[in-house]
Chains A and B, each alone.
Chain A
Amino acid sequence: MNPLKKQNKLEDSLKKQLGDLEYKPSDSLWENIEKNIGHDKFEADLRKRLDGFTVQPKNTTWESIEKNLGRKGTSHQKFIYYSAFLLLFTAGILMGLWLKLPGTEDKVIASTESQPVKNGLAGSHSSLSAAEIKPEIRRPATEAKNKLAPMFIPSGIVEGNLASGNIGKGTASGKTAPARNLRVTPVEEISTPVQPVGSTNPEMSDPSALPVVISQASGTLAPAPKGQPPVEQAIAAEPTPANGINTENINTRNTVDQSASTPALNSGENAGSVIINPPVNTPEENSGTKESIVENTVPVAPVAVAADSTRPAETPATEPKTAAPPDSATKPQQPANTADYNFSTNEAFSNLSLTAFAGFNMSFIRLELPSKSHLDYGRNIALRRQVEKPAAEFTGSFLLNYHINNRWSISSGFVLTNFRQVMQYNVVNTDEAKYRILEPTAKYININDSITNGNAKELEIRYSFTEIPLFVTFRILEKKKISLEVQGGLSLGIITGVSSYFIDPSNVGLMVMNEKNDYPPLKNVLFMSLMPAISYQLNPSVNIGIMPSIKVSLTSMMQNEYVVQQYPYFAGINAFLRKRF
């Protein structure tokens, strides 16, 4: 038989015998197979078990995060607050010193306590004519400065009654001069500091539509300059930077950056190295599950490269591991155009600004009859309205503004308001003095003189108010760099300086006030202010402007309800400078 035929026969018989041969597998074999079949369950079980697993971090973790967030202006806000407070405090001190009239404490005042009415001037110095008897205020220290004439004071009256003792007998030159109680106040030209023009204003019309460019080096965000394409396009257009981050991967998940990243990857030595490209969002977003590609891609800047000598040199550009993003990286870039600057939505500024005002007010006073007196003060009020004339005086303030939004802001701070009036009058000796009732605690000059309208004598009435305001500002109109605003509100006017004269209710003699509690005592005032303003934007953070103002007191200055009530009011104009932070 052919050997080949024998072999084929053998194979056929083997096939026939072994073809249907079956072996029963062991039980463990199936278990292993079943185990491998059900491997997804392991992952699913793990996922299920770990879903919702939370661990509470330490309390200091948030503090570290907050610290590294690099809050806008946090560090220098405190500096601004302290500086503003210091400035206001210093200004208040300076104003107080400046308002304190020279020599007022040296004024010679005829006190009613030692001057009985009946033993008046006529009894003790009958040799002198009434016209020669003109008690005048003398300020020895500043007499030469103010060119005041020496005072003629009858010795019988004033000896022992003088507060300062600077007035002596026989010191008069023999000639009298009209009482000059004027302190010349030169008009001070207030120059507001002008900030140097800084960078151009950013153009930010709609903050929600701000395109954002991710700074690859720092990993932080910065709004793109105007005209630049939005994020995805900008990133897609960027070439692969040398730091290995392929920005194209932000929008695609299929691109593997193997060229510009670690060169060693391509060498094969580090084939197992972990090279990270930021994955991309996918439409299926589910907590704890795989995310698919969507636009919510967050390009994550890599952490700092650890120093490793074995690693091939790479082009560095990675941010430090825990470094806070620098302010420049988070501040929006400012394009050249300054049109349509949106004040409050500028991400570079906080909601706070500081405004400094300086200007002049004309001071007026509204006199009203006391509500609780049965005496007739009508003549007194009429005389005072004739002799007391408004005058201009300096005013200044520092306000801290909080911008609620683009139009509304609230402000508070310090306002220094100086009230000044000029009292021009004549005096006529009168016998009526002996019939009137003098206020025992009051201080007088011209105590026995009838005060009449005229200009023979002149005195200044001064009050200084330190106001604590609460203002609301509304921006009515804003066009390019010019805006129209209106500011109004209330302020508590604390009287911090007094140098005043009141015509006695009988129109004989003048009461002198040097302090708030002198008769008639004064009290703090509640003011209401209204100030329209026109401002001009010098640069994104600085505005200057002009603000006419009207301020009226809602309450009387007088504590005593039995005397003529005084309601000061002002009309003025201020220049201001506002600095945004």
Chain B
Amino acid sequence: MFNEILTSYQPMLQNEPDIIKGCVEGDPTCQKRVYEHYAGKMLGVCMRYSKDRAEAEDMLQEGFLKVFQNIGRFESKGSFEGWVRRIMVFNAINYFKHRVRKFQEDLDRDDYDAAYHDNIVERISAKEIVALVQQMPEGYRLIFNLYAIEGYTHKEIGEQLGIAVGTSKSQYSRARQWMQQVLAKHFQILNEPFEETK
């Protein structure tokens, strides 16, 4: 199981410009500091794009390699965390580039009798949400993450993934519906009264 650390606020890396400069120069101490500061959150990002933790760790490794290899190009015009996060997302996208052939025509879903309501998201932990996201098929999961979490538009998703905007919308719609139903079912299961079996 994962060690979840829920933090709503990620403080900036202390002496960030110096540390970034050190990373540019290849200082291993600075690199490790960057890693230690952002690894937890970035692994959380990778977990949403992966099907399991092992895959997420692989993504994280590749992502940080790309961070350090390209850190010289960071121009301090935005937040460093945002830059690192983008690399993680792009790496996750690349990770699936040659694995996802096409989106599934339909998401396999059971007949869920649970009704979704907005409060459900607030009542389920982030860890559980991520675990449910991981159950989603790869292609849907990718688009779901890009739209729902990262905030890309369908147009941007279509450009990045090389798909039509309509495809992105329809795929997301299915993924969203699936996610809501799964969340509802999960919530229902969690709140079902315990019945003793005789």
A177 within 8 A of B: no
Verify if B152 is at the interface (C-beta below 8 Å from A): yes
B187 within 8 A of A: no
Closest residue on chain B to residue A244 by CB atoms: B97
Q: For the complex formed, measure the closest distance between the CB of A134 and the CB atoms of chain B, giving whole angstroms.
A: 70
Chain A hits for B36, CB < 8 A: 62
Q: Does chain A have a CB within 8 A of B193?
A: no
Q: Which of A8-16, A79-87, A284-292 contacts B (4 or more CB under 8 A)?
A: A284-292
A278 and B40: CB pair below 8 A? no
Q: Mark B42-54, 1 if CB is under 8 A from A, else 0.
A: 0110011000010
Task: Say yes or no for B26: interface residue by CB 8 A criterion.
Answer: yes
- Contacts A273-B101, A303-B98, A322-B62; A286 near B75 (Cβ below 8 A): no
* Chain B residue, CB-CB nearest to A255: B159
Q: Is the CB of A295 within 8 A of B77?
A: yes
Q: Which of B31, B62, B79, B101 contacts A69 (CB 8 A)?
A: B31
**Contact present for A290 and B118 (CB under 8 Å):** no
Total A residues in contact with B, Cβ cutoff 8 Å: 82
Of all chain A residues, which has the CB nearest B36?
A62
B61: contacting residue among A56, A305, A322, CB under 8 A: A322
| A303: contacting residue among B69, B94, B180, CB under 8 A | B94
**For residue A314, which residue of chain B has the nearest CB?**
B98
Which residues of chain B from 92 to 108 have any CB-CB distance to chain A below 8 Å in the complex? 93-103
Minimum CB–CB distance from B115 to chain A (whole Å) comes to 9
Identity of the chain A residue whose Cβ is nearest the Cβ of B35 in the assembled complex = A62
Q: How many B residues touch A, CB cutoff 8 Å?
A: 89
The interface bits of chain A over 241-277 (1 if a CB of B lies within 8 angstroms of the residue's CB, else 0) are 0000000000001111110010001000011111111
A65 to B86: give the CA distance in the assembly, Å.
18
Is residue A219 contacting chain B, with contact meaning CB distance below 8 A?
A: yes
- Say if the beta carbon of A296 comes within 8 Å of chain B: yes
Bound: A300/B73 CA distance, A: 12
Q: Please name all residues of chain A whose beta carbon is closer than 8 Å to the beta carbon of B159 when the two chains form the complex.
A: 253-256, 277
Chain A interface main SS type = loop
Give A241 to B163 CA distance when docked, in angstroms.
21
Is the CB–CB distance between A47 and B61 below 8 Å? no
The verdict on A271 contacting B66 (CB below 8 Å), with A47-B148, A49-B122, A54-B5 known, is no
Q: Are B130 and A53 in contact (CB under 8 A)?
A: yes
Most-contacted residue by chain A among B3, B53, B75, B82 (CB, 10 A):
B82
Tell me whether A6 is interfacial, beta carbon within 8 Å: no
User: Which residues from A are CB-within-8-Å of B152?
Assistant: 290
B121 contacts across to A, CB distance below 8 A:
42, 45-46, 49
Give the chain B neighbours of A279 by CB distance below 8 A. Answer: 86, 90, 156, 160
A522 within 8 A of B: no
Instruction: Say yes or no: is B135 at the interface (Cβ < 8 Å to chain A).
Output: no
Contact of A51 among B8, B77, B101 (CB under 8 A): B8
Min CB gap A386→B, angstroms: 60
Tell me if A78 is interfacial: C-beta within 8 Å of chain B: no
Q: Is A132 an interface residue (CB 8 A)?
A: no
List residues of chain A with CB within 8 A of the CB of B129: 46, 49-50
Complex interface residues of chain A between 289 and 308 (CB less than 8 A to chain B)? 289-291, 294-306, 308
Tell me the residues in window 107-134 of chain B with beta carbons closer than 8 Å to chain A beta carbons: 118, 121-122, 124, 126-127, 129-130
Q: Kindly state the separation between the CA atoms of A281 and B65 in the bound complex, as whole angstroms.
A: 19
Contact count A vs B, C-beta below 8 Å: 254
B185 at the interface (CB under 8 A from A): no
Residues of B within 8 A of A61 (CB): 39, 57, 60-61
Once A277-B160, A288-B85, A291-B86 are accepted as A-B contacts, the answer to whether A300 and B91 lie under 8 Å apart by CB is yes
Contacts A52-B9, A286-B82, A294-B77 given; does A64 touch B90 at CB 8 Å: no
CB-CB under 8 A from B194, the residues of chain A are none
User: Which chain B residue lies CB-closest to A258?
Assistant: B162
Please name the residue on chain B nearest to A256 by beta carbon.
B159
Query: Does A38 sit at the interface, judged by CB under 8 A?
Result: yes
List residues of chain B with CB within 8 A of the CB of A71: 26, 28
A99 interface residue per 8 A CB criterion: no
Name the B residues within 8 Å of A46 (CB-CB).
121, 129, 148-149
Nearest CB of chain B from residue A346's CB, rounded to whole Å = 12
Whether B40 contacts A54 by the Cβ 8 Å rule is yes
Q: Are B44 and A55 in contact (CB under 8 A)?
A: yes
Q: Is the C-beta of A234 less than 8 angstroms from some C-beta in chain B?
A: no
Nearest-Cβ distance from residue A279 to partner chain B, whole angstroms: 6
Assess whether B57 is in contact with A58, with CB atoms less than 8 Å apart: yes
Q: Are A291 and B2 in contact (CB under 8 A)?
A: no
| Partner among A55, A265, A300 whose Cβ is within 8 Å of the Cβ of B90 | A300
Which residues from chain B contact A287 at a C-beta distance below 8 Å?
10, 79, 81-82, 85
Q: A56-B3, A57-B40 are in contact. Are A306 and B73 (CB under 8 A)?
A: no
A57-80 CB mask vs B (1 if < 8 Å, else 0) is 110011011101101100000000
A434 on the B face (CB < 8 A)? no
Contact A289 B150 (CB under 8 A): yes
On whether the beta carbons of A311 and B7 are closer than 8 Å, the reply is no
Q: Which residues of A contact B126 (CB under 8 A)?
A: 49-50, 53
B-binding residues in A (CB < 8 A): 38-39, 41-43, 45-47, 49-58, 61-62, 64-66, 68-69, 71-72, 212, 214, 219-221, 231, 253-258, 261, 265, 270-279, 281, 283, 285-291, 294-306, 308, 310-311, 321-322, 324-325, 330, 347
Lowest 8 CB-CB distances: which A-B pairs, in order? A275-B162, A285-B78, A54-B40, A290-B151, A272-B102, A45-B121, A53-B126, A53-B44
> What are 17 A-B contacts defined by CB distance under 8 Å?
A42-B121, A52-B10, A221-B73, A272-B139, A274-B93, A275-B162, A276-B160, A283-B77, A287-B79, A290-B152, A296-B78, A297-B73, A301-B94, A302-B94, A303-B98, A305-B98, A306-B98
CB within 8 Å of A: which residues of B?
A: 2-10, 26, 28, 31-32, 35-36, 39-41, 43-44, 47-48, 53, 56-58, 60-62, 64-66, 68-70, 72-75, 77-79, 81-83, 85-87, 90-91, 93-103, 118, 121-122, 124, 126-127, 129-130, 139, 142, 147-153, 156, 159-164, 167, 171, 176, 180
